[in-house]
Structure 1
């Protein structure tokens, strides 16, 4: 913008009666001569000069064509004395409002709303006939369900609120729109059931959003999460649950939770949350009760194994006398050329390397390259003497088991806990293993979330 730092975030000034003054102000604020997508369209309506301001690509051409066509039929005698009368008699459209200050006008123009100035009116007419580029509401790749709906959130916040409103036709469903970021001015929707939400939690979230001082939500929901709740860097467990499924978000609303939707982000932030909420998924509810309970128990046990399997194996290999004879087959048979702890650490890094490579590999090549990488790391690395077969087996289980729970942040938090437990066990034997287990429970139990509850869902003072 052609404006200094003092007026960039807050643009002072009210709409004038004279069109020339309003046009001059808009030309000073907006870079109309530099930005090709900022359009100024001048015309006459009922014998009065008028000027449209909008962004090319955000406006529905057919709707604007019909609106302008109706304006050409307005006669001078039909023009009301004020802007309110113009809305009621001359503007055949639904989503319209009057704006009196330039701060709101510029914000609306940059958001895609068409703003109209008419000579003699001390108000700006805002016509919300915008449309945003959006992809289809396909089922998210990460959070799939064997049954249930196949739609998912997209990057357009209005579409996301509509997906939830379609499921909850309840007058108590409230969706408050807030604006975050001095420069980005990103739309953030606070969604809750008015008759079920914890009012103290809702007030806490509202206060944090109102007092949030950010220049821009550069990374969408992650920037918002770090702004409203600054977590301790040494505790990797996530404090928020994210979902890309509107049915999951609607179910959480019925449980009294608060949902935060950020424009340009295809996921919903759920507050408050606990460790049990983190490991839940939609499949737990789309099956009969006994099946859902079995899936939950299986996921919990597998999650625990991903943390404790390799450290327990390392502890037993350091204390062979503890290994019962019935489990003697788990012991390492071949020569250990590289200490077990370094084998585990190298494989942990290698698995992350393969994961990152898969993200940047074209889809048509990902399958053959994964097969080649599996053969090389599996058979050839064991035959070369770098790794033992038992170590490869347990790390393969850990790598696959990480995908049994849908939360990406929780998966890496568990990985860090496993690495800490491996290092402490290698350094201090059984004492280090015991200390590591205690630290893990401390990380989980004392991880205080936004609602004042820990991951174990116990109220903290």
Structure 2
């Protein structure tokens, strides 16, 4: 753990080096490097992290420093930067907290004898993968790039799309130990000022040891959700084009270092079920896709509970729909069939996530055949129940938000149980509870999913 220390740098070069050696485990950690050189006849020390430094850039900088003569040395660090540093990203630090934070983040710290300030050279590079299109949030048309775990790359992907001087990207940090970088991005002449001020104030006042799970830890700390309301408070995206479109709509985008997705607010239920294809198709097609996705999303919640309700009250079933009634012998009550299949589908999903790619397709086919064919023949499940649960399982993927998918699943389970226990009254009570979950799901903006202001 690195303790925050606002101690000012000393005018004594030896005291500064001694203090840095006490704070940084130079002798114990192989990747924390101390490099002693002579610049213009003065003793100088570099501190940096091996693996974060661009070797070629650092080599050229040191080469230029070694060619400096005694008579060319300025009197202070500011003059040294202006006259002798052949690099663009340079800053001056006057306290140890700023120096240590920079060193552990990647930039190199340079102490020169006779200077009371430290020179920060930001010649870092982070290990990063390519900006490929994310697997979860694909688009049939449009760009094929996606966010990565390096925050500077992510801000550049959005800046490339919005060449507006009003686009602001403020850098903040959270976590006493992790010192995780957080970028708050917005367009100053379009953003909701009240929401922006509220968000920045919350980030500044965070009292956290670290952000263990990066973006998720930040989201949980920013807005403590009610444990019984599963609906997400934020929208996430791994696509820079979607994030840029949200910025242009006046929303705030929050990026967290080491996280390949952006957190977007404010949000509503319609924002949650929106996806990238809605921006790339003509108006008629986009509206059709949104309406279809909305209908299917609603169907995933009410389809199986309604079927259970009608099977418990066959006299309500219209003659035209008599063919949907269960004809086979029911060995297990319908409610238990639905609940068992809900758990089984999640089991298959978790197994698929941990299955090697080369085996995922054949194992999925085998699992589908075994569950679909043999479970019906063995008498555990009815074919109708299998069909409707298969529709629900596939329909869950029509909207891209993973967290929303599970929130809808919990609503469906609640409806199934209430309908099985209390018949029509249970179904009505479940519908009222779902509406309450949506209406009273207060987000960071102070509004609910229906965009109604809550006190």
TM range (shorter): over 0.9
**Per-residue deviation at 1:94?**
0.5
Pair 1:442-2:444 in alignment: no
Partners of 1:291 and 1:192 in 2: how far apart?
Answer: 29
1:233 to 2:223 alignment: no
Q: In structure 2, what is the equivalent of residue 218 of structure 1? A: 212
Q: Secondary structure at the match of 1:313?
A: helix
The answer to whether the 8 Å contact 2:13/2:116 transfers is: no
Give the match's secondary structure for 1:154: coil
The CA deviation string for residues 422-445 of structure 1, in whole angstroms up to 9 with x for no partner, is 000000001000000110011011
Q: Distance in 2 between matches of 1:425 and 1:196?
A: 46
- State yes or no: 1:195 paired with 2:197: no
Superposed CA RMSD in Å reads 0.7
Query: Distance between the aligned counterparts of 2:201 and 2:336, measured in 1?
Result: 48
Residue 156 of structure 1 corresponds to which residue in structure 2?
A: 150
**Out of 401, 424, 427, which is 2:421 matched to?**
427
Q: CA deviation at 1:458?
A: 1.6
Determine helix, strand or coil for the equivalent of 2:160.
helix
Deviation at 1:235, TM superposition (A): 0.2
TM-score of the superposition, structure 2-length normalised?
0.99
**What per-residue deviation string (whole Å, max 9, x for no partner) do you get for residues 130-159 of structure 1?**
000000000000000000000000000000
- Structure 2 distance, partners of 1:456, 1:18, is 62
- Deviation, structure 1 residue 283: 0.5
| 2:318 paired with 1:315 | no
CA deviation profile, 1:220-277 (whole Å, cap 9, x unmatched):
1111011110010000000100000000000000111001000000000001000000
One of 72, 77, 84 as aligned partner of 1:90: 84
Question: Residue 16 of structure 1 contacts residue 121 of structure 1 at CA under 8 Å; is this kept in 2?
Answer: no
C-alpha distance in 1 between matches for 2:238 and 2:147 = 5
- CA shift at 1:11, angstroms? 1.6
Alpha-carbon separation, structure 1, partners of 2:391 and 2:189:
45
Cα distance in 2 between the residues matched to 1:98 and 1:454: 45
Q: C-alpha deviations, 1:38-97, integer Å up to 9, x for none? A: 000001000000000000000000000000000111000000111111101111110001
TM-score, normalising length: structure 1: 0.98
Secondary structure (helix, strand or coil) at the match of 2:20 reads helix
Q: Tell me the distance in 2 between the aligned counterparts of 1:420 and 1:333.
A: 26
- Structure 2: tracts of 5 or more residues without a match: none
Distance in 2 of aligned mates of 1:17 and 1:434: 75
Number of the residue aligned with 2:5? 11
Q: Quick one: distance in 2 between partners of 1:81 and 1:304? A: 71
State the Cα distance separating 1:13 from its structure 2 match. Answer: 2.1
Aligned match for 1:416, one of 404, 410, 413: 410
Quote how far apart the aligned CAs of 1:9 are: 2.5
Q: Secondary structure at the match of 1:449?
A: coil
Q: State how many pairs are aligned.
A: 455
Q: Distance in 1 between matches of 2:14 and 2:446?
A: 55
Q: Distance in 1 between matches of 2:453 and 2:12?
A: 60
Partner residue, 1:380: 374
Which deviates further from its counterpart, 14-23 or 160-169? 14-23
Q: How does 1:123-138 map to 2 (within 5 A)?
A: 123-138=117-132
The answer on whether the counterparts of 1:143 and 1:243 sit within 8 Å (CA) in structure 2 is yes
1:453 aligns with 447
Q: Is 1:205 aligned with 2:199?
A: yes
Which of residues 157, 170, 179 in structure 2 aligns to 1:176? Answer: 170
